[in-house]
Amino acid sequence: MPSITYVHTDGSREVLDVPVGTSVMRGAVLNSVDGIVAECGGEMMCATCHVDVDEAYVDRMPAQSDDEKAMLEFTASERKPNSRLSCQLVVTPEMDGLVVYLPESQV
Ligand code: FES
């Protein structure tokens, strides 16, 4: 099962095993990771699942849809080039070791 590290703004880390086919958002929510709100439950209508993907893994992420790009305009924290909606990141075996950074705020 791929291991994903969620890094909080204070530098603390939560390392979780997230099943293939689950989203990075769902992995966080199911394990009560603070910092992912996911108000819309993954329907791409809230942007409260914003994460910044570690640069080393950006190329392993699925392509952004136009809808995701549009929704990323509404993140509460600064949008960066490596910002993604974690509900759109479906876990694959290639994502093992993925590191994502949680933003200051989601709302
Ligand atoms: S959970 Fe709402 S946009 Fe990702």
High-pLDDT (> 70) share of the chain, %: 100
pLDDT of residue 9: 97
Question: pLDDT digits over 5-29, tens only?
Answer: 999 999 999 999 999 999 999 999 9
Measuring CA to CA, which residue among 98, 101, 106 is closest to residue 82?
Answer: 101
Which CATH number describes the domain made up of 3-101? Answer: 3.10.20.30
Question: pLDDT digits over 47-71, tens only?
Answer: 999 999 999 999 999 999 999 999 9
| Distance in angstroms (rounded) separating the CA atoms of residues 106 and 98 | 21
Residues whose CB falls within 8 Å of the CB of residue 38, separated by 6 or more in sequence, listed in order: 25, 28, 29, 46, 48, 49, 86, 87
CA of 100 to the centre of ligand 1 (A): 16
Map out the domains of the chain as residue ranges. 3-101
What pTM, to 2 d.p., does this model score?
Answer: 0.96
Q: Which of 22, 33, 36, 45 to mutate to test the pocket of ligand 1 (most atoms within 8 A of CB)?
A: 45
